[in-house]
Amino acid sequence: MQDKISYQSANVIPVKVIYDKKLVNSLHNKKVIPRVFQITPTNACDLNCVYCCCGEIDRKEKLSIEQLKEITDIAVKVGVKAFVITGGGEPMVHPNILEFIDYAHSKNIKLALITNGNHFKDDMIETLSKLQWCRISFDDYRKIDEKYRNTLSVVKKIKNVNFSFSYMYDGNPDSDFLKIINIANSFDNISHVRIVNDSLSEKYIDTMTAKEKLDKNNIDTSKCFFKYQQQYGAGQKKCYMSLLKPRIVASGDVYPCCAIQYQEKNGLKKYNKVFSMGHYSDIPNMIENQRFFNGNICNQCYYENYNKFLGYYLEPEKITDKEFI
C-alpha cells in the first residue's frame, strides 16, 4: 500500500525531489527547473460553494484552447513533466477540456485533474483514461445527486486512473459524509479520501472530529487522511516553489503557488495582482534568469518544508559538518 505522502505536496517532507534525478542534477548546478504546472483552464463553475477560495474571481475568464496548447508547448520546452488541471473554476466546464487533455497527453505530460465530480460521461472515458490521478471534491453541504452518481459510474469503469475524494468537513450533522467514505471504501480504484476543513473560515473545526464520527459508525478509515488547513509556516524571500511548480490561471497570469488566495487576512477569494509573476509566455525567461517570487509578503505558506529543503540544497555552504548525518 502506498504511503499517504504519495498523495500530498503541501506541508510534507519534500521526498519526491530526491527521486527526480534531473531536478537533483539541476539543483547541483544551482538552478531550479519547473517540474509541474498547475493550470486553471477556466474560472467558470456550475457550483457556488460558500467556502470557495475563488468565490470572487471573474467567472467569465478562461484560457482558449490555443493558449492551453501554447502553455503545453512551453512546458515541454522548459522540461515540465506533469500538469495538475485544477480550479478555482471547474476545469470540466471548459468547452475544450478533452482536447486539452488529449493534446498534453500526446506530448508525454503526466496529467492530474481536480474536479467537482458533476461532469463525467461515458463518452469521455477514452480521454479520462489518460489521467494519472483524479481528485473529486465534495463537501458537508452537497448531496449526492444524479450528476455525481453519473460521475461515479464513469469512475468505476476507469481502472487505470488513481481516483480519490477531497472532502471539506464542517461538522454538518445532515451531510453525506458517511456515504462518501463508504463509496470510497467500496471502489478499488479510489485510493484515498483527503478530509480538510475550510481554511478561510473563522469557525474552528478539528478534522479529527470527522474521524470520531467515522469510528462511531464503525466505518473503515484506512483510506482517509485528516488535514488541518490552519497549519502553515512563513513565506520565504526566495520562493523556490514559484519556479518548481508555478500556477497558471485563467487570465494567463503566473502565480507562485496555489495558496495565494490565503495570503490576505480574511481571505480575498480572488487573485491579488501583487502576487503575479507575469504572463505565462514569460516563463522561459523566469527560469533562465531564476526569477523567484519574493515570498516575504506571504503569511500562510503551505510549502515551507519544500522551500527550506531547496534552500539548503542550493546553498550548501550554510550547512557544516556534512559527514555527520
Interface residues toward ligand SF4, by CB under 6 A:
45, 47-49, 52, 54, 87-90, 116, 235-236, 239, 241-242, 256-257, 259, 293, 295, 298, 301, 303
CB of 203 to ligand SF4, least distance (A): 17
Nearest CA-CA partner of 40 in 96, 82, 91: 91
Helices (H), the chain: 15-19, 21-28, 65-78, 97-106, 125-128, 146-157, 177-186, 208-216, 241-244, 283-288, 304-314
CB of 45 to ligand SF4, least distance (A): 3
In the complex with ligand SF4, which residue's Cβ is closer, 109 or 257? 257
In the complex with ligand SF4, which residue's Cβ is closer, 90 or 140? 90
In the complex with ligand SF4, which residue's Cβ is closer, 211 or 308? 308
Q: What is the DSSP string of 268-307?
A: -SS--GGG--EEGGGHHHHHHTT--B-GGG-S-BS-HHHH
In the complex with ligand SF4, which residue's Cβ is closer, 34 or 89? 89
CB of 57 to ligand SF4, least distance (A): 9
Give the separation between CA 293 and CA 14, rounded to whole angstroms: 19
CB of 267 to ligand SF4, least distance (A): 13
Contacts of 8 (CB under 8 A, 6+ apart): 194, 225
In the complex with ligand SF4, which residue's Cβ is closer, 226 or 240? 240
CB of 112 to ligand SF4, least distance (A): 16
